[in-house]
């Protein structure tokens, strides 16, 4: 049984993610989909003379609205369960109260699904610098692979997959995950190294590392490429555009706190800015 979590806020992009998760049932005979919906508790921003922080809004009007919202979401989730009761996959729903990121993250770490599929609108500008999106945070912290979806995506058409890396780390776990993706979609893989002005090397050296990785792990149906760009993030997105890729696959190191603020994450940047689906998985 393949377990898939789909964080779901009833938005258009969340529906795209759910449709993608459902379509995976055509490739796997036994799939369990769990829809996670978080109702965020309304908070008061007022601070009294004695100090204090953010507290749940106590007034009756907001309490009544919050109760009505919970009742509505429960009915919507029950309707989804009934709609797919006789499907080729198992679908269940889970309602969580609290912060969206924490609720989703805690559920993922507790249940340990095989895959998370999330809709994403991406972020840019000040929002990206100061806050980032819930999707980006899940990509960074999830112990299992995450696929981010931004438009309606047909699993059956995923035949070109870009795996971007420097190929300096030939870990068995990374190779194993790539093969799972390749087998799932029966896809042509493009292994690409992005050359940048600040981190330049010869094509011969880059191609040598890719060949070593391919030979060590017995990959087949692989095309090796070296792509020149001003940054790794833009190079990955541009290369995927140039070959009209169906999916970008990347590893993320899951840095948090100060280290994340200093070094950032190429994978998270690609998730934010790519119009294509991105499959990320954490590399130890």
Class of 2-148 per CATH?
Answer: alpha beta
252-268 per-position pLDDT tens digit: 865 544 443 333 478 88
Sheet order of strands, 115-119 included: 90-97, 31-39, 2-7, 115-119, 146-149, 278-282, 247-252, 160-164, 188-195, 222-228
pLDDT, position 171 = 74
58-102 per-position pLDDT tens digit: 555 567 888 889 999 999 999 999 999 998 899 999 999 988 999
β-pairing verdict for 31-39 and 222-228: unpaired
pLDDT, position 254 = 54
Q: 153-282 is classed in which CATH architecture? A: 3-Layer(aba) Sandwich (3.40)
146 vs 184, higher pLDDT: 146
pLDDT, position 279 = 93
Q: Among positive and negative, which fits the CA dihedral 90, 91, 95, 96?
A: positive
- The ranges assigned to domains in the chain are 2-148, 153-282
Share of the chain above pLDDT 70, in %: 83
- Confidence class for position 147, pLDDT limits 50, 70, 90: very high
Please give the Cα distance from 178 to 156 (Å, whole number): 18
Q: Pick the closest to residue 4 from 77, 107, 80, 120 (CA basis).
A: 107
pLDDT, position 102 = 92
**In contact, 111 and 36? CB cutoff 8 Å:** no
Domains 2-148 and 153-282 share a fold: yes
Q: What is the pTM of this model?
A: 0.84
- Mean pLDDT (whole number) for 154-173: 85
pLDDT, position 30 = 86
pLDDT at 244 over 80: yes
């Amino acid at each position: 049984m393949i377990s898939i979590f789909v964080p779901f806020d009833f938005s258009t992009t969340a529906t795209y993610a759910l449709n993608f998760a459902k379509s995976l049932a055509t490739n796997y005979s036994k799939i369990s989909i769990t829809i996670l919906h978080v109702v965020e508790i309304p908070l008061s921003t007022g601070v009294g003379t004695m100090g204090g922080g953010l507290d749940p809004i106590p007034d009756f009007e907001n309490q009544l609205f919050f109760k009505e919202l919970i009742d509505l979401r429960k009915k919507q989730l029950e309707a989804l369960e009934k709609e797919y009761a006789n499907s080729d996959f198992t679908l269940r729903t889970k309602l969580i109260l609290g912060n969206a990121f924490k609720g989703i993250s805690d559920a993922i770490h507790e249940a340990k699904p095989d895959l998370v599929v999330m809709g994403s609108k991406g972020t840019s500008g000040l929002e990206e610098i100061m806050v980032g999106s819930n999707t980006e945070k899940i990509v960074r912290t999830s112990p299992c692979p995450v696929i981010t979806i931004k438009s309606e995506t047909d699993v059956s058409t995923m035949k070109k997959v870009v795996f971007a890396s420097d190929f300096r780390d030939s870990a068995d776990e990374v190779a194993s995950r790539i093969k799972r993706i390749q087998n799932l979609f029966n896809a042509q893989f493009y292994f690409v190294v992005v050359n940048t002005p600040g981190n330049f090397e010869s094509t011969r050296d880059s191609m040598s590392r890719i060949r070593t990785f391919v030979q060590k792990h017995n990959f087949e149906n692989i095309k090796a490429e070296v792509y020149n760009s001003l940054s790794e993030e833009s190079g990955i997105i541009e290369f995927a555009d140039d070959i009209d890729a169906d999916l970008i696959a990347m590893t993320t190191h899951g840095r948090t706190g100060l280290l994340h603020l200093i070094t950032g994450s190429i994978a998270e940047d690609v998730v934010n800015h790519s119009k294509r689906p991105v499959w990320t998985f954490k590399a130890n």
